[in-house]
Chain A
Amino acid sequence: MDMMTNSSFWVALFSLAHITLASLGVGFMVLAPIAEGLGRTRPHFTDVAYLITRFTLVTYTTSIVLAVFMLELFIGLFPLTNSLLFNHFRAPLHLALVVFFIQLLCLYPYYHFWDWFRSKSITWHIVLGGAAAALILVWAGILDGIGSYMLTPVEQETGWARLWNPTWLPLMVHRFFGNLVIAGYVMAAYAGWRLWNNRHLGNDAGYYLMVLKTGMSIGIVSLMIQPVSGFVYAYQIQTVRPDVQQELLAGGSIILVIGQFILLALLLLGSHLIFRSVHVDRGHSYLGEGLYVLMLCLLVVLAPFPYYRRLISLIVLVQTGWYLSYVFPVWIRHSTPSLNTPFVHGSVMVLGAASLILYLTMGTIREVARGPDTIYGIIEHQTESPERNEAFHAP
Chain B
Amino acid sequence: MPLEPLGISLSVGRVAIATSALLHSLFATFIVGSSLIGAVTATCSYVTRKEWFDRLARLIAFSLVLSTATISFFGVVLVFALNIYWPQFWHRIFQVMFWPFLGEAALFLGEAIFAYAWYYLWEWGQNGWRRKAHLAFVWLAAGCALTAMFMIDVTASYMLTPHPVYSAWDNIFNPTMIHLDLHRWFGNLTWAGFALAGICAIGYLKSTTETDRTFFHKGGSYCFLIGYGALLVMPVVGYQYLLHLRYGQPQAFYTVMLGERSWLFDVVALLYGLLILVGSLYIIQMVRSKPNPPSSCSGFMPLSLIVILLAAMMLAMPYQLQHIPFLNRLTDQEINPLGKMQPYKYYALSGLVIFGFGNWLYALRAFGRMSPVSILAIASGTPRRMASMLMTLAGLTVIIFLAMGWVRESARAVNGYLIYDVMRLEDEKSTYQRSSSEKDSSKEILFNPFER
Residues of A within 8 A of B (CB): 54, 58, 60-62, 64-69, 71-73, 75-76, 79-80, 82-84, 86-88, 90, 93, 97, 100-101, 104, 108, 112, 379, 388-391, 394-395
Are the CB atoms of A62 and B450 closer together than 8 Å?
A: no
Given contacts A61-B68, A69-B109, A394-B98, 7 further A-B contacts (CB under 8 A): A68-B108, A75-B90, A83-B3, A83-B91, A88-B4, A97-B80, A104-B70
Contact yes or no, B3 A62, CB < 8 A: no
Bound CA–CA A70/B383 (angstroms): 49
Q: Does B1 contact A (CB under 8 A)?
A: yes
What is the CA–CA distance of A394 and B105 in the complex, to the nearest angstrom? 17
B95 contacts partner chain A, Cβ-Cβ < 8 Å:
yes
A58 in contact with B116 (CB, 8 Å)? yes
Collect the chain B residues with CB atoms within 8 Å of residue A80's CB: 1, 449
CA distance A58 to B168 in the complex (A): 38
Size category of the binding interface on chain B: 35 or more
In the complex, are the beta carbons of A72 and B101 less than 8 A apart? yes
- Of all chain B residues, the one with the shortest Cβ separation from A101 is B73
A394/B76 in contact, CB under 8 A: no
Q: Known A72-B105, A93-B84, A101-B73; judge A394-B168 contact (CB<8 A).
A: yes
Taking the nearest CB of chain A, how far is it from the CB of B88, in angstroms? Answer: 9
- Write the B61-89 contact mask toward A (1 if CB under 8 angstroms, else 0): 00000101110110111011001100100
Any A CB within 8 A of the CB of B361:
no
Contacts of A101 in B (CB 8 A): 73, 77
Q: Is the Cβ of B99 less than 8 Å from the Cβ of A62?
A: no
Q: From the candidates A54, A73, A93, A391, name the one contacting B80 in the complex (CB within 8 A).
A: A93
Report chain B residues within 8 Å CB of A76. Answer: 94-95, 98, 101-102
B450 touches A79 (CB 8 A): yes
Q: Give the residue of A58, A62, A86 whose beta carbon is less than 8 angstroms from that of B109.
A: A62
Complex Cα spacing A306 to B94, Å: 44
* A395–B99 CB distance below 8 A: yes
| CB-defined A-B contacts under 8 Å, sample of 14 | A62-B112, A72-B94, A73-B102, A75-B83, A75-B94, A76-B101, A83-B1, A83-B83, A87-B4, A97-B76, A97-B80, A100-B76, A389-B450, A391-B95
Shortest beta-carbon distance from A201 to chain B in Å: 17
On chain A, the residues within 8 Å of B40 by CB distance are none
Is the C-beta of B239 less than 8 angstroms from some C-beta in chain A?
no
Partner of A69, one of B80, B99, B106: B106
Q: Which residues of chain B are near A61, meaning CB under 8 Å? A: 68-69, 72, 112, 116
Task: Give A59's nearest chain B residue, CB to CB.
Answer: B116
- Cβ-defined contact, B116 with A68, below 8 A: no
Q: In the complex, which residues of chain B have a beta carbon less than 8 angstroms from the beta carbon of A64? A: 72-73, 75-76
Secondary structure type dominating chain B contacts = helix
A-B pairs with beta carbons under 8 A, tally? 116
Q: Is the CB of A68 within 8 A of B447?
A: no
Is the beta-carbon distance between A62 and B94 smaller than 8 angstroms?
no
In the complex, chain B residues whose CB is within 8 Å of the CB of A379: 1
Q: Please determine whether A82 and B105 come into contact, CB atoms closer than 8 angstroms.
A: no
Kindly state the separation between the CA atoms of A73 and B112 in the bound complex, as whole angstroms.
Answer: 19
Question: How many Å lie between the Cα of A327 and that of B252 in the bound state?
Answer: 76
Q: A68-B79, A90-B84 are in contact. Are A394 and B73 (CB under 8 A)?
A: no
0/1 interface trace, chain B 147-185, chain A, CB 8 Å (1 if under): 000000000000000000000110010000000000000
Could you tell me if A69 and B105 are in contact, using CB atoms closer than 8 angstroms? yes
- Least Cβ–Cβ distance between B28 and chain A, in angstroms: 12
In the complex, are the beta carbons of A79 and B91 less than 8 A apart? yes
Chain B residues with CB under 8 A of A104? 69-70, 73
Task: Give the residues in chain A near B87, CB-CB below 8 Å.
Answer: 83, 86-87
Closest to A10 in B: B102
Q: How far is B91's CA from A72's CA once the two chains are assembled, in angstroms?
A: 10
Asked if A394 and B83 make an inter-chain contact with CB atoms under 8 angstroms apart, the answer reads no
Determine the residue in chain A with the shortest Cβ distance to B84: A90
User: Which of chain B's residues has its CB closest to A73's CB?
Assistant: B102
Which chain B residues lie closer than 8 Å to A395 at the CB level? 99, 168-169, 172
If A62-B112, A390-B95 touch, whether A86 touches B83 (CB-CB below 8 Å) is yes
Q: Mark B28-70, 1 if CB is under 8 A from A, else 0.
A: 0000000000000000000000000000000000000010111
Enumerate chain A residues within 8 angstroms of B79, measured Cβ to Cβ: 68, 71-72, 75
Instruction: Determine the chain A residues whose CB is within 8 A of the CB of B3 once the complex forms.
Output: 83-84, 87
* A65 to B101 Cα, complex, angstroms: 13
7 cross-chain pairs, A with B, having the tightest CB-CB distances, nearest first: A79-B449, A86-B83, A395-B168, A64-B72, A391-B98, A390-B95, A388-B450
Query: When chains A and B are docked, how far (Å) is the Cα of A390 from the Cα of B90?
Result: 14
Contacts of A108 in B (CB 8 A): 66, 69
**B6 near A: Cβ within 8 Å?**
yes
Q: How far is the CB of B80 from chain A (nearest CB, A)?
A: 6
Residues in chain A near residue B70, CB distance under 8 A: 104
Contact A86 B168 (CB under 8 A): no
Taking the closest CB of chain A, its distance from the CB of B221, in whole angstroms, is: 27
Min CB–CB distance A102 → chain B (angstroms): 11
- Does B449 contact A83, Cβ atoms closer than 8 Å? yes
Q: Which residues of B contact A391 (CB under 8 A)?
A: 94-95, 98
Q: Mark B112-134, 1 if CB is under 8 A from A, else 0.
A: 11001000100000000000000
Do B84 and A65 touch (CB < 8 A)? no
* Smallest beta-carbon distance B427→chain A, Å: 15
Distance A13 CA – B99 CA, assembled complex (angstroms):
17
Q: Which residues of B contact A86 (CB under 8 A)?
A: 80, 83-84, 87
Q: Does B281 contact A (CB under 8 A)?
A: no
Which residues of B are found within 8 Å of A68, using beta-carbon distances?
72, 75-76, 79, 105, 108
Q: How far is the CB of A29 from chain B (nearest CB, A)?
A: 14
| Minimal Cβ-Cβ distance residue in B for A86 | B83
Is B270 part of the contact surface with A, judged by Cβ < 8 Å? Answer: no
Asked if B370 CB lies within 8 Å of chain A CBs, one says no
- Residues from chain A with a CB closer than 8 A to the CB of B449 are 79-80, 83
Question: Is A65 in contact with B108, judged by CB distance below 8 angstroms?
Answer: yes
In the assembly, what is the distance between CA of A66 and CA of B113, in Å?
A: 11
Q: Is B205 an interface residue (CB 8 A)?
A: no
Interface centre among B169, B172, B449 (most CB of A within 10 A): B449
Asked if B102 contacts A390 (CB within 8 A), the reply is no
Known: A58-B120, A104-B73. A69 touches B83 (CB 8 A): no
Which A residue sits closest to B78, measured CB to CB?
Answer: A68
Q: Let me know if B96 is at the binding interface, CB within 8 A.
A: yes
Q: How far is the CA of A69 from the CA of B79 in the complex (A)?
A: 11
CB <8 Å contact, B106 and A87: no
Give the CA-CA distance A395 to B68 in the complex, in Å.
29
Compute how far the CA of A390 lies from the CA of B92 in the bound complex, rounded to whole angstroms: 9
Task: Return the chain B residue nearest A107 by Cβ.
Answer: B69
1/0 per residue, CB under 8 A from A, across B191-230: the answer is 0000000000000000000000000000000000000000
User: Which of B72, B77, B105, B108 sits near A97, CB closer than 8 Å?
Assistant: B77
Nearest B residue to A390, CB-CB: B95
Taking the closest CB of chain B, its distance from the CB of A168, in whole angstroms, is 20
On whether A83 and B447 interact (CB within 8 A), knowing A58-B120, A90-B6, A395-B99, the answer reads: yes
Closest Cβ neighbor of B97 among chain A residues: A394
CB contacts (< 8 Å) of B1 on chain A: these are 80, 83-84, 379
Q: A76: shortest Cβ distance to chain B, in Å?
A: 5
